[in-house]
Structure 1
Amino acid sequence: MVVTMDVVTTTPTTVALGAEPGSDDAPVTACIVRCWRRFNVAVRSQALMVLWVGAVTAIFFATYCTYKYEEKHFYLRQILGVGLCLSRATAAVINFSCFMVLIPMCRTLLQILSSKLPPKFHGCVRVCVDQGVRLHVLFAATIIITSIVHSLAHLVNACNFSSYYSHDFVDINMARYPGEDPLLMILRTVPGWTGLAMVCLLVFLSVASLKCVRRSCYDLFWYSHHLLLLFLVLAIFHPLSGVLKEQVNIEEHVPGCQYMNTSRRDEIPYPEPRPDVGVCFVPPIFISQKSETWKWMLAAFALFGLDACCRLYRRRSAAKLEAVQLHGAPATFKADASAPVAATAAPSLVPAPGDDPYRDSVVELRLAKKGMIARPGQYVLLNCPKISLMEWHPFTVTSCSKGGDNTFTLHLTTSGDWTGVLRTKLVTPKVTKKSDKPAYPKLYVDGPFCSRSERIGRSAITICIAGGIGITPFVSFFNHIISSKNVLRVERLHLVWVSRSISMFATFADHLTNLHYEMWRQNLPDFFTMHLYVTQGSPHEIISNEFWQKYQLLAHRIRVGRPDWSRLFREWQTVYQRQKVAVFSCGPASLNKEIKKHCHIATLAGHKFAFYKESFA
């Protein structure tokens, strides 16, 4: 489960214009209030975009003005014109963006900083954690757009170097002779061929990052993304040959003066900040411009390398598999990892033709790892070398031991390729020759990592909406309440859970019933309410299911069909008119989109609904 987050929140605003409800000014007042709320929501939801655009715009124009007005670039401007300013300004933005694009991906460093820094610095780290994927995409889009402008500007520069060859100051030319083929000029220089290679890499990375490619061939997306490191290496060497020159003896040779024995031809009429100042007796001296790119790239590599070292250190030893349990299978399977194989008779994993009885099954793993301490809502990365050395899949920690045994629990759906193979290896393990114990594959765990779900429990009114296995972040919070006997700042907790089959409810039924009875034990009967919806099956099938007899508390709360979100949100708006409501949604993109829409409608109506989402990607 990869976490991506959006937030839509605002505070109700009252505009006092002296208009009575029945007066002619009332419609005008209502219109102003609605417009203000829409503006407030738009600013809050796009705050990161506004800040980033403002930052790159400032960098762009600061660099643009430097190359347009500074005297040391006078003679180069005479040849290249505005193309020089555009190419250098976009280069500055690319340098900054290449440094920033790796920061949201350094999850290990962000996790360490989150735990070590004082609380007043948690805001910056929290933004990188909560909006990590969104920021990464935003920075990457900036690199792509500015790279297009940068490449086009240099194509124009190559043509200008060829067409406006300077006979008076030969050292400043990139062309070897007047009229040199611009394409040949690009291919024979280091900036030219490295630039072409970087453009090809960007095109490939952009195509591999499309949603349709990610869904159909995730491995291509994952492995191709490592080419970004090659892109950064090429960026270091791209400007090092120094084809662009600048003047260094400005005091001895004032730019724009009439140098002896020169024709003073203006290659391109271009407005300059000062006129000619007479005759100079010293020729201009040009040196290659110093590159700043390597500083940005090495800083990015340093952060990424440090993060990689921390990851390798945390992944150095395999986690100990304590127990395995398969939920939702035709035959219940539960095994102690240390028990002999004869005691763990597993069901056959060969489904009938055209049918997959394990489509909705869930594998529960109890693992132990030294030093493992996780907060509710955090997730870990799981790797099985026997399946793939490079694939690390994120899973929410549903429970973590408070004692010293460092055990924790994960729940994995088995609908995907990787999880399907892992299920087979765990449920039908091979037996070693030296003992009768099952030979389970080694599992490596990296984490835990921060997620937006850690915010659950920080609002007085919390609404948790889950789709299928999206219940896991909320189960983690429920288990924390039960084990710590502490509901934090929560006064009311609502759960709406939509599942395709009733077997998913059975997987986590014990967690929900335990929370319900714990709240009753603490004399808080109104603290926790739940609505369960099953989208497949008839009421008769549900009643006849053994789940009905085993979990009467939950069975009476199950409804067939999908929730009426409009009705539910109207009820919540009526009950919590002046209170801030935190709405957490975890599930398919369609569910998150629907919940976000209703939160947006409630916000525009003046209610304080904050929306947080976690989605599967």
Structure 2
Amino acid sequence: MLLLAAAVFVGWLMMWVMLPTRTFSSTWAPTLASHTNSTYFGKQVFCTRMAAWRRPVLVRGPLGIVTGIELAFFLLFLALLVWSYSAFINLDFSKIHVKPVEKMWQAKLDRAALRLGHVGSFCCAFLFFPVARGSSLLPLIGLTSEASIKYHVWLGNLVMLFFTAHGLCYIVFWASTDQIHEMLKWTRTKVANVPGELALLSGLVMWVTALPRVRRQMFELFFYAHHLYALFLVLFALHVGVAFFCSILPGVFLFMVDRYLRFLQSRVRVRLVSARLLACDAVELNFCKSPHLTHSPMSTVFINVPCVSRLQWHPFTVTSSSSLEPDRLSVVVKRAGRWTEKLYETISSLPPSQPGHLDVSVEGPYSQATPASFLQYDSLVMISGGGGITPFISVIRELVHRSGTAAEAATPSLLLIAVFKTSADLAMLDLIVPASGGFSDISRLELRIEAFVTRESVPSAGDVVAIAHKVPAEEVLFKPSPSHAPIAPVLGHNGWLWLAAVVSSSFFIFLLFVGAVQRLYIYPVDGNSNRVYPWAARTLLNLLLLCVGIAVAASAAVLWNKRRRAEEAKQVENVATPASSPATWLDKPRRGDAEVGPRPDLRSTMHRSILFSFWVELVLLPLKSA
């Protein structure tokens, strides 16, 4: 076995040695590629089997939509938890010691309750990895923060199941052994029960408010209650001590770094260039962004408007393309709730002749793990309903840019099936043309749109003419403010490199502070045989030093990049604001203008199949309302 391992290792090293040579690229690689498809581990066989594992196997149930590989890993993780708990129990029961005031079942209950807490801590160690939006680990395995939320939900349920069972078992144990007073005990040098009970209560509040029925009906309650995670972590650390808390520190540490960077980004007021008010009660917000900020189609941003609500952050899909519009970032907000309604009314009340400014903060954008995954197909079928068309707008704009670039490969053909409630919602199709214009290359794109209206009867010829000449989108311009800045990466252009520097330097600062405090302050106390430094104070001191290390390293990195972006901000702050709204998808005049016919120049750039399919599906094939 040793000789076999040595031979494999030498062969592996030889591969790396030969990889940059001409022999490998001209002789070995073509030979390997020509015989790959016929082997068991062939490329086609492997890809086909991996694609089968990525298909959903569960679409209904408590786990949501689960693929085969996700279900396999979930079952393996459960098996690991069961094995860990059984191994703990077998080891503890083999050397159990029954106290005079206890019975055998009580002693076993004590050990079983303790190990439930250990297994729950094992789940807690992975709990914070999926919710780090700017994580550097998730893209390594092809995941995004959005796609990983369900893993956080699974782990959160497991954590609370084990911790709740841990607490209940100890309550039963104390009650059966007449030690109920232990619930109010907070020892100086051992596990403290009071912070553990408070941590369990805060976790139960988060768990109950996160139930699907509660979360959907009272989302704000769920959102604000989930901020108890900070209290939960502090109380958990006070309960188990800083030494055991380090077992879950990696996930917590990376989440804290990400959360602080998001906090620094959210303090910046970004420049809002213009807004398009559509007839369907939707508004397109166009922000100024740094050309160095690139994002993939279907990315998301979180937006906060202080004049609407200082606390609420709402995610929206980015409709712009960083390739087609390097200095613009656009999102669409549909009027569908109190927050969106107030935002729409605030923007629509601004006089177009006297531009003002609106304070807005942004977090993100957060891109997909595979930005160009849709390019591997020959054709794309995109089905949307109402405001769900927004992710596909960014895809269309990205493909328009790629179709006009000679270096890019052939773009796939597109079929967009858009379902709307009323004919007024057809204005969402105007968003295909960006507010900044420059969309003449759409004729190179093979695009077909089928629009369906579900809550109106078949329109007559007069209705079609009325729809074609309906009131167009109104544009509201905003004047720049000295305090507003373009949307830019919080850590600059090479964000991944700066993030690595922040993580490593902040942890080094933390270790340096802990070593100094331990040697100069805590050790002299512990060195005295008559005194012991309290666990709670030591834990709080370590948590404080951890926060200080993160704040120092992250703030220094952000300030350094902010200085470097100062000149860039001066260049983009005077970006020309469009004097008028670009021609809409149906070439309609602006409000107050005379009724004129369609502009031939823009009409000629539209692909004929788009207009033909659009009018055929709108006039002849609308769905009847139920």
TM bin (shorter chain): 0.5 to 0.7
Match of 1:506 among 421, 427, 438: 427
- Deviation string 1:318-359 (CA, Å, 9 cap, x unpaired) is 22111111001xxxxxxxxxxxxxxxxxxxxxxxxxxxxxxx
Q: Which has the higher contact order (CA 8 A, sep 6+)?
A: 1
Residue 136 of structure 1 aligns with which residue? 152
Does structure 1 residue 313 correspond to structure 2 residue 313?
A: no
Q: How does 1:207-218 map to 2 (within 5 A)?
A: 207-218=208-219
Does structure 1 residue 154 correspond to structure 2 residue 170?
A: yes
Match of 1:362 among 282, 297, 315: 282
Residue 202 of structure 2 aligns with which residue? 201
Distance in 1 (alpha carbons) for counterparts of 2:461 and 2:185: 73
Contact 2:335 2:344 in 1 (8 A): yes
Residue 183 of structure 2 aligns with which residue? 186
Distance in 2 (alpha carbons) for counterparts of 1:293 and 1:105: 22
- Deviation string 1:200-231 (CA, Å, 9 cap, x unpaired) is 22332222112332233221111100012211
Q: Which amino acid aligns with 2:288?
A: A
Contact 1:494 1:529 in 2 (8 A): yes
Against the structure 1 CA distance between its residues 510 and 236, is the aligned structure 2 distance closer, same or farther, given a 3 Å change threshold? closer
Contact 1:63 1:88 in 2 (8 A): no
Against the structure 1 CA distance between its residues 91 and 308, is the aligned structure 2 distance closer, same or farther, given a 3 Å change threshold? same
Whose Rg is larger?
1
Contact 1:64 1:88 in 2 (8 A): no
Q: Which amino acid aligns with 2:262?
A: R
- Deviation string 1:229-270 (CA, Å, 9 cap, x unpaired) is 211211111134xxxxxxxxxxxxxxxxxxxxxxxxxxxxxx
Against the structure 1 CA distance between its residues 293 and 533, is the aligned structure 2 distance closer, same or farther, given a 3 Å change threshold? farther
Against the structure 1 CA distance between its residues 158 and 323, is the aligned structure 2 distance closer, same or farther, given a 3 Å change threshold? same
Residue 439 of structure 1 aligns with which residue? 356
Distance in 1 (alpha carbons) for counterparts of 2:388 and 2:145: 19
Match of 2:384 among 466, 475, 482: 466
- Deviation string 1:349-406 (CA, Å, 9 cap, x unpaired) is xxxxxxxxxxx41101110133432111111111112222222111111113437963
Q: Which amino acid aligns with 2:386?
A: G
Does structure 1 residue 556 correspond to structure 2 residue 473?
A: no
Q: How does 1:573-592 map to 2 (within 5 A)?
A: none
Deviates more, 1:79-88 or 1:313-322: 79-88
Residue 452 of structure 2 aligns with which residue? 533
Does structure 1 residue 324 correspond to structure 2 residue 242?
A: no
Distance in 1 (alpha carbons) for counterparts of 2:72 and 2:308: 42
Report how far residue 475 of structure 1 moved: 0.8
Against the structure 1 CA distance between its residues 459 and 91, is the aligned structure 2 distance closer, same or farther, given a 3 Å change threshold? farther
Report how far residue 548 of structure 1 moved: 4.4
Distance in 2 (alpha carbons) for counterparts of 1:489 and 1:221: 46
SS at 1:365 equivalent: strand
- Deviation string 1:417-442 (CA, Å, 9 cap, x unpaired) is 111111122221389xxxx8433321
Distance in 2 (alpha carbons) for counterparts of 1:399 and 1:43: 33
Contact 1:429 1:438 in 2 (8 A): yes
Does structure 1 residue 521 correspond to structure 2 residue 444?
A: yes
Report how far residue 317 of structure 1 moved: 2.2
Contact 2:157 2:207 in 1 (8 A): no
Unaligned runs of 5+ in 1: 1-7, 14-40, 115-121, 163-180, 241-290, 329-359, 565-617
Q: Which amino acid aligns with 1:468?
A: G
Deviates more, 1:291-300 or 1:377-386: 291-300
Contact 1:376 1:480 in 2 (8 A): yes
Residue 221 of structure 1 aligns with which residue? 222
The number of residues matched between the two structures is: 410
Contact 1:67 1:88 in 2 (8 A): no
Distance in 2 (alpha carbons) for counterparts of 1:509 and 1:496: 15
Q: Which amino acid aligns with 2:419?
A: V
SS at 1:425 equivalent: helix
Match of 2:335 among 402, 409, 414: 414
SS at 1:105 equivalent: coil
More strand by share: 1
Q: How does 1:313-352 map to 2 (within 5 A)?
A: 313-328=264-279
Distance in 1 (alpha carbons) for counterparts of 2:367 and 2:325: 22
Distance in 2 (alpha carbons) for counterparts of 1:517 and 1:373: 22
Distance in 2 (alpha carbons) for counterparts of 1:531 and 1:54: 48
Report how far residue 98 of structure 1 moved: 2.1
Match of 2:252 among 283, 289, 301: 301
Does structure 1 residue 108 correspond to structure 2 residue 28?
A: no
Contact 1:9 1:44 in 2 (8 A): no
Distance in 1 (alpha carbons) for counterparts of 2:243 and 2:624: 57
Deviates more, 1:75-84 or 1:194-203: 75-84
Contact 2:296 2:322 in 1 (8 A): no
Residue 478 of structure 1 aligns with which residue? 396
Against the structure 1 CA distance between its residues 238 and 140, is the aligned structure 2 distance closer, same or farther, given a 3 Å change threshold? same
Against the structure 1 CA distance between its residues 127 and 471, is the aligned structure 2 distance closer, same or farther, given a 3 Å change threshold? same
SS at 1:421 equivalent: helix
More helix by share: 2
SS at 1:415 equivalent: coil
Distance in 1 (alpha carbons) for counterparts of 2:298 and 2:213: 29
Report how far residue 560 of structure 1 moved: 1.5
Against the structure 1 CA distance between its residues 532 and 404, is the aligned structure 2 distance closer, same or farther, given a 3 Å change threshold? closer
- Deviation string 1:96-128 (CA, Å, 9 cap, x unpaired) is 222322221110224xx56xxxxxxx452x335
Distance in 2 (alpha carbons) for counterparts of 1:96 and 1:498: 46
Q: Which amino acid aligns with 2:389?
A: I
Distance in 2 (alpha carbons) for counterparts of 1:292 and 1:94: 17
Residue 232 of structure 1 aligns with which residue? 233
Residue 541 of structure 2 aligns with which residue? none
Q: How does 1:159-178 map to 2 (within 5 A)?
A: 159=175, 162=177
Q: Which amino acid aligns with 1:556?
A: V
SS at 1:536 equivalent: coil
Residue 595 of structure 2 aligns with which residue? none
- Deviation string 1:470-497 (CA, Å, 9 cap, x unpaired) is 1111110000011221686764433222
Distance in 2 (alpha carbons) for counterparts of 1:52 and 1:127: 18
Distance in 1 (alpha carbons) for counterparts of 2:410 and 2:625: 28
Distance in 2 (alpha carbons) for counterparts of 1:91 and 1:416: 42
Residue 62 of structure 2 aligns with which residue? none
SS at 1:193 equivalent: helix
* CA RMSD between the two structures: 3.7
Residue 456 of structure 1 aligns with which residue? 374
Distance in 2 (alpha carbons) for counterparts of 1:563 and 1:511: 27
Q: Which amino acid aligns with 1:87?
A: A
Report how far residue 139 of structure 1 moved: 0.7
Contact 1:414 1:420 in 2 (8 A): yes
Q: Which amino acid aligns with 2:109?
A: G
Distance in 2 (alpha carbons) for counterparts of 1:195 and 1:425: 47
Contact 2:324 2:401 in 1 (8 A): no
SS at 1:301 equivalent: helix
Against the structure 1 CA distance between its residues 216 and 424, is the aligned structure 2 distance closer, same or farther, given a 3 Å change threshold? same
Distance in 1 (alpha carbons) for counterparts of 2:72 and 2:461: 47
Distance in 1 (alpha carbons) for counterparts of 2:379 and 2:53: 15
